[in-house]
Amino acid sequence: MIAIIDYGMGNLRSVQAGFDFIEVEAFITDDPEKIKEADGVILPGVGAFRDAISRLEDTGLGDAFRKAVESGKPCLGICLGLQLLFSESEEGGIYQGLDIIPGRVVRFSNQLKVPHMGWNQIDLKKPDAPIFKDIPDGSYMYFVHSYYVKPDDDSVIAATTEYGINFTSIIAKDNLYATQFHPEKSQKIGLRILRNFGELVRG
């Protein structure tokens, strides 16, 4: 069973619908105990970093996700769920993140149109990662974001995307994966990523 964390901010139904479409069982929960019992965990998210991290920490859901990652079970962050993994964000001030991945969340240059919205390509840096099974290099994914992540350690970068700069669009570290784009909105290729995650959960 895959738990989709409900902390009051996120594209929960569309993520669940994506798993329903590929016939992988996933449920939405705001109960830390159910997250502990799940075989895989997803941290989705849309909206402001400050509000999201506050809700995660106030509800204990942030700690539940940290423990899920530490336990070794497959975990996946989506969009804001990627950014929340990092040490801090400069969105609306400086705010501490979950600090699972050392690094910062920064804004695109004012010279670029923000948000970065629409279809863009991914350049695979770890093509052998299981999350990329049957995902061709250069695949198009659907993005909506004004901030991007800058990991301290480049070894976690699994894919990049060009938008004025080459920014990190996927990270992969052991059992933890996260995407800046929305796989559930990225049609067949995006759903393949969700299917690959489901296969990791099934083992």
Give me the half-sphere count of Cα atoms (radius 13 Å) on the Cβ side of residue 10: 28
Between CA 198 and CA 137 the distance in angstroms is 21
Between CA 134 and CA 131 the distance in angstroms is 9
Between CA 68 and CA 169 the distance in angstroms is 22
- Which of 91, 116, 145, 184 is an active site residue? 184
Between CA 61 and CA 65 the distance in angstroms is 6
- Which of 75, 79, 91, 145 is an active site residue? 79
Torsion of CA 175, 87, 169, 8, to 10 degrees: 80
Whether 182 is catalytic: yes
Whether 79 is catalytic: yes
- Which of 91, 145, 182, 199 is an active site residue? 182
Query: Which residues are marked as active site?
Result: 79, 182, 184
